[in-house]
Amino acid sequence: MRWVVAFGRFWYDFIVGDDWIVAAAVVAGVVATWLVSRTGVPAWPLLPLVVAGVLGASVWRVARARRESP
Amino acid sequence: MHDALLFLAAFLASTVEMVEALTIVLAVGVTRSWRSTGWGVGLALLALAAIVALLGPALTRLPIDALRIGVGTLLLVFGLQWLRKAILRATGLKAMHDEAQIYEEEIDEAAHAARVERAGLDWYAFTVAFKGVFLEGLEVAFIVVTFGGTQRNVPLAAAAAAAALVLVLAVGAVVHAPLSRVPENTLKFGVGLMLTSFGIFWAGEGAGAHWPGGDAALLGVLAFVAVLSFALVTALRPAAEVVSEGSDA
């Protein structure tokens, strides 16, 4: 069982890394792109916008945490 | 054009990871045993080649849209991790990767580790070299398999990674020191930009989005991600300076 947990943790760290919100936002962005593309509305701007938002928020959170830590 | 970017991404990623692996290999080789270190490196490279040889062709059998949405999403998550760290390093919010310092730390650790012999090998040198090359190389294998599989050109991606490996090994053999002058942090920024851009492009296409301009839109995505990243670095630098001044005080 310990091996399974260690294996899962390794792949989680490998793919997802420090900020799981980034991964969750990307998955949500891909799902939203799929849904919007079904309606006939151009869906291509969605993922670049999601990336801009989530990347900016992620690095900003690190900067804020560093500023607030003693 | 996609093939050229595919080659460049795999080559740069492999160069960065192999430079890191070389630091570990040199440290255990110099301090412990070159024979045991060599076995570790050889077996790790064999394991990585087996992963690429097994997974690469398997991925190319999947339907292209399913492959693009799956691989694109994975690459995007993975690429954003590289890009996020690169932005934090460029702003000073994360320590730069310093091969010379890591080499000194590895030498110190290797010199103090107990000597245990297994299968006629210095087990410490063997396992550290194996783990170093395998774990650094796993990121390269991931990029080779995903990029190559989606582009239906695993051999080109594997050739790019192999070319980088040969180059780093050759330079390492001549210099016989960690390659601390390689602009590793800049290369990582470049790899992060490419992984993220390919991820956006493929995941979007797999999810049914139609990019204006077709394949040429990839360059537009790359330009967008590059401008975004440099804007974030510029915006975060003052915040990082405040942190640095605060910790200096």
DSSP codes of every residue in chain A: -HHHHHHHHHHHHHHTTT-HHHHHHHHHHHHHHHHHHHHTS--TTHHHHHHHHHHHHHHHHHHHHHHH--
* pLDDT reported for residue A23: 94
Residue of A nearest to B232 (CA): A56
Confidence of residue B249 (pLDDT cuts 50, 70, 90): very low
- Give the separation between CA B237 and CA B206, rounded to whole angstroms: 36
Per the model's pLDDT, the better-predicted residue between B2 and B189 turns out to be B189
Asked whether residue B136 carries a pLDDT value surpassing 90, the answer given is: no
Q: Is residue A59 within 8 angstroms of chain B, CB to CB?
A: yes
pLDDT tens, position by position, B77-96: 999 999 999 999 998 888 77
Confidence of residue B232 (pLDDT cuts 50, 70, 90): very high
DSSP codes of every residue in B51-66: HHHHHHHHHHTS-HHH
- Give the separation between CA B10 and CA B157, rounded to whole angstroms: 6
Q: A51–B73: do the CB atoms touch at under 8 Å?
A: no
Q: Is residue A60 within 8 angstroms of chain B, CB to CB?
A: yes
* pLDDT reported for residue B215: 85
Contact B197, B225 (CB under 8 A): yes
Task: Find which of B75, B77, B94, B244 to mutate to test the A interface (most A CBs within 10 Å of its CB).
Answer: B77
Asked whether residue B65 carries a pLDDT value surpassing 60, the answer given is: yes
- Chain B positions touching A37 (Cβ under 8 A) are 207-210
Q: Report the first-to-last Cα separation within chain A, whole angstroms.
A: 39
Task: Find which of A20, A26, A54, A58 to mutate to test the B interface (most B CBs within 10 Å of its CB).
Answer: A26
pLDDT tens, position by position, A2-59: 788 888 888 888 888 888 999 999 999 999 999 999 998 999 999 999 999 999 999 9
Residue of A nearest to B197 (CA): A48
Q: B80–A26: do the CB atoms touch at under 8 Å?
A: yes
* pLDDT reported for residue A50: 97
Residue B86, token pair as written in the block: 């690169």
Confidence of residue B247 (pLDDT cuts 50, 70, 90): low
Contact B207, A34 (CB under 8 A): yes
Q: E strand or H helix at B168, and its extent?
A: helix B154-175
* pLDDT reported for residue B1: 61
Query: What are the residues whose beta carbons fall under 8 Å from the beta carbon of B100, sequence distance 6 or more?
Result: B178, B180
- Chain A positions touching B203 (Cβ under 8 A) are 26, 29-30, 33, 47
- Chain B positions touching A7 (Cβ under 8 A) are none
* pLDDT reported for residue B152: 80
Residue of B nearest to A40 (CA): B209
- Chain A positions touching B208 (Cβ under 8 A) are 33-34, 37-38, 43
- Chain B positions touching A40 (Cβ under 8 A) are none
pLDDT tens, position by position, B5-34: 888 888 988 888 888 888 899 888 888 888
* pLDDT reported for residue B224: 97
ipTM of the complex: 0.91
Q: Is residue A11 within 8 angstroms of chain B, CB to CB?
A: no
Q: Is residue A67 within 8 angstroms of chain B, CB to CB?
A: yes
* pLDDT reported for residue B112: 81
Per the model's pLDDT, the better-predicted residue between B103 and B249 turns out to be B103
Asked whether residue B235 carries a pLDDT value surpassing 80, the answer given is: yes
- Residue B140 burial by Cβ neighbours in a 10 Å radius (0-12, 13-18, 19+): buried
Pick from B1-5, B150-154, B197-201 the range whose average pLDDT is largest: B197-201
* pLDDT reported for residue B240: 65
Residue of B nearest to A32 (CA): B207
Asked whether residue B43 carries a pLDDT value surpassing 90, the answer given is: yes
Q: Indicate the average pLDDT of chain B.
A: 86
